[in-house]
């Protein structure tokens, strides 16, 4: 279904932005909420919040970037190995193709026919093995890197939203009230778009993001209150 | 290659523990390091750290749990649709199979033969469409849930390691020294195991985790120092 793929590709950037933002809203929001229950000084809360945003976005962005690199290296080394195997042990590789189709109930003669035709073109043969034997698809060269950086940066933007109210008040309690109202609303909106761009049911998708954020904040609040009191 | 799959499955739990722990080490470590540059009171740092660990583990655990549920629902609904399509528009579905094999250079007669044999057994036909047309594999019923909870809990355990030193000193600077030494060491060890269980090159995998953690902490430290000073 090439149309669907096309569609997904065109919204990759938006998907990454929405994922990064809805994740970014969650943890800094919960951290600030938790600290509000134990610490009155909003200056400390914003410092902690900014440290968290930097830490989280680097872990997410750089972590994703390195994972993307690893995926590319893995694909390249498996591709090399498959080419070598097709060259050195073609009969073994042919048996592996037969096994794939045997599992779907195809007759021995059909299996042989497929193998004979497929093995005529070495590139297509290897491509087939990569995809259907190993389940590997060629990673887009810069896609993983761009995706990781987009998610990391969107995490920063998302994380600033729940923190902003604390910059405009000296009372942590007031900051929390505004932060919770704004963030719950944003979690719902971004959860809605996250569901839309990742193809989930909209309302339940929006609620999942909202509930995760609210529960994380409530739990952080209660535990921080308990240990500090 | 059933052996490889077997191998991966048997270490799923360990993989999740190692992933959760190496991620858990990163953000709380960087958060505490960042706060150490701006705040002298270790009580505040540990409160913030605990709030972060709770927030992060819920976001990761609950987020992963809900994502797993979504994946299961998605698979179930696509499976239902594929069964309906095979029933209602079998010719269209047969054409789709032919297209898959046409792309690998198989002749029209082979395509027809494959389709005829494959479509004899409706279950195997649908299974084939799910896997090779849609690229979907059946999610393990409780696997995603268990995985998310294991990662979330391991995040807690990993997060406690960089925080512990701050409990035993009143000086944030001393806490940071011990925390950084212990955590960098742990990041390397868990990064090594993460590489091992996820099948990456060991040394570069270990270094990736270590460098991500160290950079996140350094960046959080510098920015928190700059905004507070």
A117 touching B (Cβ < 8 Å): yes
Give the confidence band of A153 by pLDDT, cuts at 50, 70, 90.
very high
Q: Which of residues 63-102 of A touch B (CB under 8 A)?
A: 63, 66, 70, 73-74, 101
- Subunit contact B70:A200, Cβ cutoff 8 A: yes
Q: Which of residues 138-197 of B touch A (CB under 8 A)?
A: none
For a pLDDT cut of 70, what percent of chain B falls above it? 95
Give the confidence band of A47 by pLDDT, cuts at 50, 70, 90.
very high
> What integer is the mean pLDDT of B88-93?
88
The answer on pLDDT for B228 being more than 90 is: no
What pLDDT is attached to residue A215?
95
Q: Kindly tell me the burial class for residue B160, based on how many C-beta atoms sit within 10 Å of its own C-beta (0-12, 13-18, 19 or more).
A: middle
From chain B, pick out residues whose CB is under 8 angstroms from the CB of A110. Answer: 110, 113-114, 117
What pLDDT is attached to residue A100?
83
- Subunit contact A23:B59, Cβ cutoff 8 A: yes
Q: Which of residues 35-54 of B touch A (CB under 8 A)?
A: 35, 38-39, 43-44, 47-48, 50-52, 54
The two structure tokens encoding residue A52: 């968290």
- In this structure, of A46-60, B3-17, B70-84, B195-209, the range with the lowest mean pLDDT score is B3-17
B205 touching A (Cβ < 8 Å): yes
Give the confidence band of B9 by pLDDT, cuts at 50, 70, 90.
very low
Report the predicted TM-score, pTM, of the whole model to 2 decimal places: 0.83
- Subunit contact A113:B118, Cβ cutoff 8 A: no
The answer on pLDDT for B5 being more than 70 is: no
B113 touching A (Cβ < 8 Å): yes
- Helix axis angle for A12-36 and A143-167, nearest 10°, is 30
ipTM score? 0.82
What pLDDT is attached to residue B11?
66
Instruction: List pLDDT tens digits, range A66-102.
Output: 878 888 888 888 899 989 998 898 888 888 888 888 8
Distance from CA of A208 to the nearest CA of B (A): 7
> How many Cα neighbours within 13 Å face the side chain of A148?
20
The two structure tokens encoding residue B195: 């590489």
> What integer is the mean pLDDT of A24-39?
95
What pLDDT is attached to residue B7?
41
The two structure tokens encoding residue A187: 């979690």
- Subunit contact B52:A52, Cβ cutoff 8 A: yes
A55 touching B (Cβ < 8 Å): yes
User: Which of A27, A59, A120 lies nearest to residue B59, judging by beta carbons?
Assistant: A27
Q: Measured between alpha carbons, how far is B11 from A229 in angstroms, rounded to an integer?
A: 41
How much is the mean pLDDT over chain B?
87
Q: What is the DSSP letter of B141?
A: T
B128 touching A (Cβ < 8 Å): yes
Polymer length in residues for chain B: 229
Three-state SS for chain A is CHHHHHHHHHCHHHHHHHHHHHHHHHHHHHHHHHHHCCCCEHHHHHHHHHHHHHHHHHHHHHHHHHHHHHHHHHHHHHHHHHHHHHHHCHHHHHHHHHHHHHCCCCCHHHHHHHHHHHCCCHHHHHHHHHHHHCCCCCCCCCHHHHHHHHHHHHHHHHHHHHHHHHHCCCEHHHHHHHHHHHHHHHHHHHHHHHHHHCCCCHHHHHHHHHHHHHHHHHHHHHHHHHHHC
From chain A, pick out residues whose CB is under 8 angstroms from the CB of B55. Answer: 26-27, 29-31, 34, 216-217, 219-220
> What integer is the mean pLDDT of B156-162?
97
From chain A, pick out residues whose CB is under 8 angstroms from the CB of B129. Answer: none
Instruction: List pLDDT tens digits, range A168-191.
Output: 999 999 999 999 999 999 999 999
């Amino acid at each position: 279904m090439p149309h669907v793929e096309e569609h997904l590709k065109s919204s990759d950037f938006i998907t990454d932005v929405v994922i990064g933002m809805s994740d970014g809203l969650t943890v800094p929001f919960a951290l600030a909420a938790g600290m509000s229950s134990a610490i009155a000084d909003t200056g400390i809360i914003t410092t902690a919040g900014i440290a968290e945003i930097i830490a989280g976005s680097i872990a997410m962005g750089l972590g994703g970037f390195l994972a993307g690199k690893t995926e590319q290296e893995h694909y390249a080394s498996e591709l090399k190995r498959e080419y070598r195997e097709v060259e050195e042990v073609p009969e073994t590789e042919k048996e592996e193709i037969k096994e794939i189709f045997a599992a779907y109930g195809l007759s021995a003669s059909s299996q042989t026919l497929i193998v004979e035709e497929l093995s005529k073109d070495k590139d297509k043969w290897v491509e087939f093995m990569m995809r259907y034997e190993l389940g590997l698809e060629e990673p887009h060269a810069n896609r993983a890197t761009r995706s990781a950086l987009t998610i990391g940066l969107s995490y920063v933007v998302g994380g600033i939203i729940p923190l902003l109210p604390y910059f405009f008040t000296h009372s942590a309690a007031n900051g929390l009230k505004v932060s919770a109202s704004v963030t719950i609303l944003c979690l719902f909106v971004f959860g809605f778009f996250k569901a839309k761009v990742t193809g989930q049911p909209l309302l339940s998708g929006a609620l999942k993001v909202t509930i995760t954020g609210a529960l994380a904040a409530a739990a952080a609040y209660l535990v921080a209150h308990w240990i500090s009191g």
